[in-house]
Structure 1
Amino acid sequence: MKAIIIGAGMGGLTAAIALRQIGIDTEVYERISENKPVGAAISVWSNGVKCLNYLGLEEQTAALGGIVQTMSYLDGHTGDTMCRFSMQPLIDEVGQRPYPIARGELQLMLMEAYGVHRINFGMQMVSVADGAGAATATFADGTTASADFIIGADGASSITREYVLGAPVTRRYAGYVNFNGLVQIDEAIGPATEWTTYVGDGQRVSVMPVAGGRFYFFFDVVLPEGVPYERGSAREVLREHFDGWAPGVQVLIDSLDPMATNRVEILDLDPFYTWVKGRVALLGDAAHNTTPDIGQGGCSAMEDAVALQWALRDHPDDVHAALTAYQDARTDRAADLVLKARKRCDVTHAKDPAQTAQWYRELRDEDGTNIIRGIVGNIMGGPVTPAP
Structure 2
Amino acid sequence: MKVVIIGAGMGGLSAAIALKQIGVDVEVYEQVTENKPVGAAISVWSNGVKCLNHLGLEAQVAELGGIVETMSYVEAETGQTMCRFSMQPLIDEVGQRPYPVARAELQLMLMKAYGIDDIHFGKKMVAVSDGTDHATVEFADGTTVTADLVVGADGARSLIREYVLGGPVTRRYAGYVNFNGLVPIDEKIGPATEWTTYVGAGRRVSVMPVADDRFYFFFDVPMPQGQPYERGTAREVLAAEFADWAPGVQKLIEDLDPATTNRVEILDLDPFDTWVKGRVALLGDAAHNTTPDIGQGGCSAMEDAVALQFALREHPDDLHAALAAYQSARTERAGELVLRARKRCDVTHGKDPEKTAQWYSELRDEDGTNILRGIVGNIVGGPLTPA
Residue 304 of structure 2 is matched in structure 1 by: 304
1:217-243 deviation digits (Å, cap 9, x = unpaired): 000000000000000000000011101
Tell me the alpha carbon deviations over residues 277-309 of structure 1, each in whole angstroms, 9 at most, x when there is no partner. 000000000000000000000000000000000
Q: Name the counterpart of 2:276.
A: 276
Structure 2: how far apart are the matches of 1:340 and 1:141? 40
Could you state the TM-score of these two structures normalised by the residue count of structure 2? 1.00
Instruction: Give distance in 2, aligned partners of 1:60 and 1:130.
Output: 38
Amino acid at match of 1:242: F
Separation in 2, partners of 1:318, 1:79: 59
Amino acid at match of 2:228: P
Deviation at 1:215, TM superposition (A): 0.1
Q: How does 1:20-31 map to 2 (within 5 A)?
A: 20-31=20-31
Aligned match of 1:242? 242
Amino acid at match of 2:28: V
- The aligned residue for residue 187 of structure 1 is 187
Distance 1:76 1:3 in 2: 50
Task: Give distance in 1, aligned partners of 2:315 and 2:138.
Answer: 27
Identify the residue that residue 360 of structure 1 maps to in structure 2: 360
| Pairwise CA distance, 1:64 | 0.2
Equivalence for 2:137: 137
Q: Give the corresponding residue for 2:220.
A: 220
CA RMSD of aligned residues (A): 0.3
Question: How many Å separate the matches in 2 of 1:100 and 1:124?
Answer: 31
How many correspondences in the alignment?
387
Instruction: Give the AA of the match of 2:196.
Output: T
Give the aligned residue type for 1:165.
Answer: L
Partner of 2:93: 93
SS at match of 1:63: helix
Distance 1:244 1:314 in 2: 57
Describe the superposition over 1:149-192 as per-residue Cα deviations: whole angstroms up to 9, x where unpaired.
Answer: 00000000000000000000000000000000000000000000
Cα separation, 2, equivalents of 1:351 and 1:344: 10
Give CA-to-partner distance per residue, 1:329-361, whole Å, 9 cap, x none: 000000000000000000000000000000000
Correspondence for 1:43: 43
Mapped partners of 1:30, 1:77: distance in 2 = 45
Match of 1:158 in 2: 158
Residue number in structure 1 paired with 2:331:
331
Q: Name 2:198's counterpart in structure 1.
A: 198
Shift of residue 373, structure 1, vs aligned partner: 0.1
Residues 70-149 of structure 1 mapped to structure 2, 5 A cutoff: 70-149=70-149
* 2: CA distance, partners of 1:248 / 1:229: 25
Structure 2: distance between partners of 1:7 and 1:243: 40
Please list, as runs of the form range in 1=range in 2, the aligned pairs for 1:253-272 lying within 5 A after superposition.
253-272=253-272
Deviation at 1:386, TM superposition (A): 0.4
* Aligned counterparts of 1:144 and 1:300: Cα–Cα separation in 2: 30
Report the counterpart of residue 12 of structure 1 in structure 2.
12
What do the CA deviations read for 1:178-214 (whole angstroms, capped 9, x no partner)? 0000000000000000000000000000000000000
Unmatched segments (≥5 aa) in structure 2: none
Q: Which residue of 2 aligns with 1:289?
A: 289
What is the identity, as a one-letter code, of the residue corresponding to 1:241?
Answer: E
Q: Secondary structure at the match of 1:288?
A: coil
**SS of 2:292's equivalent?**
coil
Counterpart residue type for residue 121 of structure 1: F
**For residues 242-287 of structure 1, what are the alpha-carbon distances to aligned partners after superposition, in whole Å with 9 as ceiling and x for unaligned?**
0110000000000000010000000000000000000000000000
TM-superposed CA distance for 1:318, in Å, is: 1.0
